[in-house]
Structure 1
Amino acid sequence: MSQNKYKQYRKWLDFITLSSATTLLLVFISVWLIPFSSKVNSDTLVFLSDFESGFSEWGAEFRYEYSAQLVNSPVRAGKQAIKFLLKKEDTRIDGVKRAELRLGEVPPDSEIWYGFSVFLPTNYHRDPSSEIIAQWHDLPDKNLGEKWKSPALSLSTKDGKFILNRKWDSKRVTVVPEGKEVVDLGLYQTGKWTDFVFHVKWSSGSNGRLKVWQDGKLVVSRNGPNNYNDARGPYLKIGIYKGDWKNQPDKSIVSERELYFDEVRVGDANARYKDIAPRD
């Protein structure tokens, strides 16, 4: 592979670093540079983060040591999961209170599977102020004068519920999205793991598709646009993003948020639900 081609591939996941403590094979699939694990089906599963060896393959967007820590309990599988903790007094990062991990962007108009498990502790009290716990964020076309936008797809908690937010736009430069949808996924349960699987054909046009499973049940099925018309695809982030602690601090009745993630999987277009869903 030429040096220029290597740089092009590396650009797609420029926020991912490979741990020198772990032996990894580099497998090029489409335009991704991803860690390969013998524990997964390499034909379909292109990324696995079970936090057994840390989280060095992620990019970090947090300020303090307590913001993201490996823990031995609770875990969805294996011996470790990751705990996120965000406090109201935490210093802002890029203007917002957050404690997140991120992957690099996927190719534009790609078809991708995502899976993860999230654990909300029993002290995760209802708050009328929402927090994003997983988001698929756009990369604006700054060469066209486009500015940062709200994520095309995000999973939030608000007032005791899981909420899915969708936005899309076929215009080359987005100022106000053409469409949006808020989907109520029902009351969340604390003290237990909740499994999510997302199957997305990213598109700003009519050929887009989205399916979401929650604890094995199909809860969302949509055909049509689900993304912005950008030159690059979206990137996945997990953790806690609490915008109201900047914009409407009095709306929130809690002073900190704590939650856990485990068993993050990303699959290509050939993956199936069983490849992505967390294992029992």
Structure 2
Amino acid sequence: MRRLLLALFAVLMPGLSWAGVVWRGDFETGGITQYTRAQRVSTDRLQIVQSPAFQGRYALKATVRQGDDPIDSSGNRNELVYMGQEKEGSEYYYRWQVMFPTDYPSVDAWQVFTQWHHSGCCGSPPVEFFVKGEEMRLTLADSATPWKTKLVRGVWHDFIFHVKWSSDASVGFVELWLNGQRVLSKYKHVTLYEGDGVYLKLGLYRSDTVKPVGVVYHDGYTQATQLADVLPPPAPPPPPVDAGTPAPTDAGTPGPVDAGTPGAGPGTEVPPAGETPVDSSSPTPGTGTVLPPPGEQAQAVGCSSTGGALGVLALLGLAGLPRRWRRR
């Protein structure tokens, strides 16, 4: 029986497909050990806190004061660094949450809260999220800004960011969801500098002209190869309704929002001059629902197989149990 199981497993293994998370930086270890290193002037600038938190028990509090320069470079910063596996042609989904306190400074200067920095030494990164004045922006190489929205303080901003990493503008693209609504359709653009890789920097990095203390909270960072792997778990089913009690009626639910239409969800797609977002059509999600990109279907997390491979293996495994019990 054992030889038969091994033989069947060898035949069926090519049909198995595994979905999973590539990396988590969600601080649920209670520290910053999930990251490669920290760039900070002191430990109090990057703290793990229990409140506020978007998910789980812990989040990151990043604080920057004027003059904070732990790496003797331009600007002021305190950031975590993660050296990932992004390379030419790779494609990932990233999900994380950011909160700006109600006293977050409003200045007409750049304040980067998430960036994928190039492995080269100098210049702006090919992908960065930052605040300027009263706006949150996504800016790519060559200062292309395909999306921006009004900065809202005191609430969590839940991002899902889809990237095809490439130095070829006809191959690379980005796509963005915010708080469950797709706010940027697939937008073709350079996402890598030729010959460079990228690595994640999470925290706060800003112009050294900014004087007020700045604080940003981060939580839940997840990197995966499929949209389904970063989506929140489904809501539990409602409790059964007592047959003797009439079911509650809906007092009025807001109609669905066309998340694929510029301006319909949070933020506005702003393609640079001469460039046009690709794949502008999109399905119509319900409020707060993240849908997969057009032409893609969210896949279940875990293992799936063609032809019920796992079911076959499970039945064969059970077939051998009576004999082992008799031997005992």
TM-score by length of 1: 0.71
Contact 1:116 1:277 in 2 (8 A): no
1:64-117 residue CA offsets vs partner (Å, 9 max, x unmatched) = 111100111000011111100000032442313111011114233211111100
Equivalent residue for 2:166? Answer: 203
Give the deviation of 1:229 after TM superposition. 3.9
| Higher strand residue share | 1
Q: Displacement, 1:230?
A: 3.1
* Aligned mates of 1:118, 1:100 — CA distance in 2: 14
* Mapped partners of 1:118, 1:278: distance in 2: 16
For structure 2, the 5+ residue unaligned runs are: 1-17, 236-328
Residue of structure 2 equivalent to 1:80: 58
Shift, 1:278, TM fit? 5.3
User: Relative CO higher for 1 or 2, CA cutoff 8 Å, sep ≥ 6?
Assistant: 1
Q: How does 1:30-109 map to 2 (within 5 A)?
A: 43-53=19-29, 54-58=31-35, 59-96=37-74, 97-105=76-84, 106-109=86-89
Corresponding residue for residue 212 of structure 2: 255
Secondary structure of 1:185's counterpart equals strand
**Counterpart of 1:113?**
93
Q: Who is 2:119 aligned against?
A: 139
The residue identity in structure 2 corresponding to 1:149 is G
Deviations 1:14-58 (A, max 9, x none): xxxxxxxxxxxxxxxxxxxxxxxxxxxx72311112212111121
Between the two proteins, the alignment pairs up a number of residues equal to 213
Partner of 1:213: 177
Partner secondary structure for residue 148 of structure 1: coil
Look up the SS of the partner of 2:171 in the other structure. coil
What aligned pairs does 1:260-279 form with structure 2 within 5 A after superposition? 260-268=217-225, 271-272=226-227, 274-277=228-231
Q: Which moved more, 1:183-192 or 1:151-160?
A: 183-192
Instruction: List aligned pairs for 1:17-28, cutoff 5 A.
Output: none
Deviation of 1:184 after TM superposition, in Å, equals 4.5
Partner in structure 2 of residue 151 of structure 1: 125
Whether the 8 Å CA contact 1:185–1:219 is kept in 2: the answer is no
CA–CA distance in 1 between the matches of 2:101 and 2:193?
38
Tell me the distance in 2 between the aligned counterparts of 1:61 and 1:49: 16
1:125/1:160 contact within 8 Å kept: no
State the Cα deviation string for residues 200-245 of structure 1 (Å, max 9, x = none): 0111211112101111111122443322343342111111111x20
Structure 1 residues 278 and 103: alpha-carbon distance in aligned structure 2, compared to 1, 3 A threshold: farther
CA distance in 1, matches of 2:62, 2:205: 11
Moved more, 87-96 or 61-70: 87-96
Q: Identity percentage over the alignment?
A: 28
1:98 is paired with a residue whose SS is: strand
Would you say the 8 A contact 2:60–2:219 is kept in 1?
yes
Q: Alignment RMSD, CA only?
A: 2.1
Aligned equivalents of 1:61, 1:278: Cα separation in 2:
30
| 8 A Cα contact 2:39 2:70, kept in partner | no
Map 1:217-256 → 2, pairs under 5 A: 217-242=181-206, 244-245=207-208, 249=209, 252=210, 254-256=211-213
Alpha-carbon deviations, 1:163-214, whole Å to 9, x = none?
Answer: 11111xxxxxxxxxxx431245211211111001110011121111210111
Q: Name structure 1 gaps, 5 residues minimum.
A: 1-41, 141-146, 168-178
Q: Is the 8 A contact 1:49 1:263 kept in 2?
A: yes
> In the superposition, relative to structure 1, how do residues 278 and 102 fare at CA in structure 2: closer, same or farther (>3 Å)?
farther
Matches of 1:187 and 1:71, distance apart in 2: 26
Partner of 1:66, secondary structure, is helix
CA distance in 2, matches of 1:184, 1:210: 10
Q: CA, structure 1 residues 278+241, in 2 after alignment: closer, same or farther (shift >3 Å)?
A: farther
